[in-house]
Amino acid sequence: MTSLASGESVFTIVLSHGPLTRAQIAGRTGLSAAAVTKAVRPLMAAGYLVEGPGEGSRALGRPATLVRVDAGAAFFVGVKVTGDEIIAVLTDLCCRVRAAARLPLTGRAPERVLPVLTELVRELLTEADGFGVAVRGLGIAVSGDVDVDSAEGMVRYSPFLEWREVPLAGIAGTATGLPVTVENDVRALTVAEQWFGAGVGLDSFALVTVGAGIGCGLVVHGRVVSGAHGVAGELGHVSIDPDGPPCYCGNRGCVEAVAADPAIVRAVREVTGRPVTTPAEALELARAGDRGARQVYAAAGQAIGRAIGSVVNLLGPERVVISGEGLAAYDLFADGIRDAFAAAAFGTAAQCDVVTRPLPFEEWARGAAATAIQSFIGSATSATPVTSKEQSGVHQ
């Protein structure tokens, strides 16, 4: 019972803020130096943390030793399920991608998806064997409404996959023999950004994803917002224009009905009269200088900027991160986003830092791995640690 509640916070700090001296850990966590020493010890004994190499570059006094996460102490698999393929990554304990794989889907029904998912996980488990490191958790990210609290990791409703009440964690756990964490995809990506990306150390930020849909992950008071009914961050269905185009949700002028890939493709087709059917074609046309197409992108940028303005006015986050596949067209969006945001942001909320970050699908899968790491840390720091030699099979 060398358990320490402070263990989790110490580990998390070291994980996201790279190697730190114990004194720095004390400063960041607000714990005393003594408490840090006591919290670090069992984590090092368990093999999750290691000392050095390198030293805190002090001129005077006893040199500090750096504490870092032993990236190779445990591996994790993260999986992102999209409409037509599954992307999986193998990460180390620092959530760095060590291997990646993807497979196309032949259907969206759970019976079609799960064999592919299992196959990918098996592939990455073999990779992990090559490294000689045990995989200690599997994170799965799916779009839609996920009940994180339920033990079976229930996917309550995923419109994109047309799933209802699928106990995904239970099924995947049985199939793979791994402890499974299931999360909404945008929230998983948000967790990854909060721990390892542009949201590190921030008490509040928003992650806006632009692509096939428009999503938004929100962190408030240092925690990801889940919504009382499982729905939150539905930026795509925030309406910004009562006279805008109709959205499949039944409303008009949703951001998604203006700025998501399908909306852009349709608008470009209508405006230019050309048989454009994919985002790539639409983008090509705009890049080639087609006025109509460029205007469609500009309008989409405006819509995104206005939507971000709404988020910022409501929540006043420290930062907004814009990402998603749609970022490929960011040069075409940029002016619209900037202008509309500047017009919409009220008062000091305009000081909010707006940045872009390209996050490919592998990054979403990495987000899923991050949620797996998160729950692994929770169990590892609250249970009696065991050495890495002792443990080999399924964790917990």
Partner DNA sequence: TTTCTTTCATTGACGATGGAAAAGAATCCC
Partner DNA sequence: GGGATTCTTTTCCATCGTCAATGAAAGAAA
Residues 16-75 that bind DNA (CB under 7 A): 21-23, 30-41, 56, 58-65
Residues 224-283 that bind DNA (CB under 7 A): none
**Residue 204 interacting entry, from DNA, a copy of itself, none, C-beta within 5 to 8 Å by type:** a copy of itself
Nearer to a copy of itself, 23 or 342 (CB): 342
Select from 66-74, 187-195, 232-240, 388-396 the region that touches a copy of itself (CB under 8 A). 232-240
Listing DSSP states for 17-71 in one string gives S-SEEHHHHHHHHT--HHHHHHHHHHHHHTTSEEEEEEEE--SSSSPEEEEEE-G
Grouping H, G, I as helix, E, B as strand and the rest as coil, residue 297 is: helix
Nearer to DNA, 33 or 280 (CB): 33
Select from 177-185, 302-310, 356-364, 385-393 the region that touches a copy of itself (CB under 8 A). 302-310
**Contact status: 151 vs DNA (CB under 7 A):** no
**Contact status: 388 vs DNA (CB under 7 A):** no
Q: Which residue has the tokens 């303005």?
A: 309
Segment holding 312, helix H or strand E: helix 291-315
Look up residue 213 and give its DSSP letter.
S
**Residue 118 interacting entry, from a copy of itself, DNA, none, C-beta within 5 to 8 Å by type:** none
Cis peptide before 358 (omega within 30 of 0): no
Residues 24-83 that bind a copy of itself (CB under 8 A): none
CA dihedral 171, 173, 179, 182 (to 10 degrees): -30
Residues 334-393 that bind a copy of itself (CB under 8 A): 343-344, 346-349, 351-352
Q: Which residue has the tokens 């705009």?
A: 286
Computed from CA positions of residues 11, 13, 19, 23, in that sequence, does the dihedral angle turn out positive or negative? negative
Q: How far apart are CA 30 and CA 369, in angstroms?
A: 28
Residue 350: how many CB atoms within 10 A of its CB? 15
Max distance between CA atoms of the chain, in angstroms, equals: 73
From candidates 6, 24, 239, 381, binder to a copy of itself by CB under 8 A: 239
**Residue 45 interacting entry, from a copy of itself, DNA, none, C-beta within 5 to 8 Å by type:** none
Q: How far apart are CA 307 and CA 338, in angstroms?
A: 12
Nearer to DNA, 66 or 293 (CB): 66
Closest separation between CB of residue 55 and DNA, Å?
Answer: 8
Closest separation between CB of residue 381 and a copy of itself, Å?
Answer: 20
Q: Which residue has the tokens 């700090």?
A: 13
Q: How far apart are CA 232 and CA 250, in angstroms?
A: 18
**Contact status: 164 vs DNA (CB under 7 A):** no
**Contact status: 289 vs DNA (CB under 7 A):** no
Binding site for DNA (CB under 7 A): 1, 3-6, 21-23, 30-41, 56, 58-65
Binding site for a copy of itself (CB under 8 A): 145, 157, 159, 203-204, 216, 218, 220-221, 223, 225-235, 237-243, 249-251, 302, 306, 309-311, 313-318, 343-344, 346-349, 351-352
